Amino acid sequence: MPRAPRTGDWLTLLVLTVFWGSAFMFNAIALESFSPSTLVAARIAIAAAIIFVYMRASGIQLPRFGRRWLPMLFMALMGNVLPFQLVAWAQQYIASSLAGVLMAMMPLFVLTLAHFFVPGSRLTPLRVAGFGMGFVGVIFVIGPDALREGGGGFALWGALAALAAALAYAINTIYARRLGAVEPVSLSAGILIIGSLLTLPGAIIDVPELATPTAGALLAVLFLGALCTGVATLMYFRLV
């Protein structure tokens, strides 16, 4: 059974909220110079490099290659590669604010999946009401006009892609919770290394067509990789 949350857990969650919430804005800036595939590959590669250096400096080793890497492969796909690619593609056609609203569906997905797959996390009317109020609150804070913004004919597909990303994150959260106690640093490093390898081919294809990136786009990618992905992934698995 999970232990009761402590003050440090809530502070970690607050920092994660800032990192993840700001990622939509930095995605929009980076997409002015980078394709979705290149952006995702660079973001994950930067995160992998930072976490790997931290891991080695801490004297922690990656698990020996074998079946223990299969869970990391699944989490790399569902927690990084797939949702990052979906959100980056979606933000070409929908506003960052709308992407944020749609990603707020993730807790509802987690709540529903946890009812079936996590012991002690039954779906109660109070939990449904709480998360429903939270989602309505997100829409209210961002503004109803965000729901009417779009990018032409692809706006609906962009919205569906953002929802699919939220579902992927939710599946990853449930899977990580069911793993039990694991070493978070080596787990984070392994996941990000796999993610880098999976996204490299798409980035290589797109690189020749890229224009010279702006300083703002480069800084946005650096922020996304170092904080929104690298540090955030480590904090996330420590919290889970």
Give the position of tokens 């927690």: 79
Query: Taking a C-beta distance cutoff of 8 angstroms, is the pair 112, 123 a contact?
Result: yes
Question: For residues 213 and 183, what is the distance between their CA atoms, to the nearest angstrom?
Answer: 37
Q: What are phi and psi of 118, to 5 degrees?
A: -120, 115
Question: How far apart (Å, rounded) are the C-alpha atoms in residues 94 and 173?
Answer: 25
Tokens 């309505």 belong to: 136
pLDDT in tens, 63-119: 888 888 999 999 999 999 999 999 999 999 988 888 888 888 888 888 888 888 877
Phi-psi region of 120 (alpha: psi -120 to 50; beta: other; left: phi over 0): left
CB 31 within 8 A of CB 91: yes
DSSP state of 104: T
pTM of the model as a whole: 0.85
pLDDT of residue 89: 95
- pLDDT of residue 157 exceeding 80, the answer is yes
**If you ran DSSP here, which 8-state letter would residue 154 be given?**
G
Q: Roughly what angle, to the nearest 10 degrees, separates helices 96-103 and 7-30?
A: 140
The band of 169, judged by pLDDT with boundaries at 50, 70 and 90, is very high
Task: Using alpha carbons, select from 38, 143, 132 the residue that is nearest to residue 98.
Answer: 143
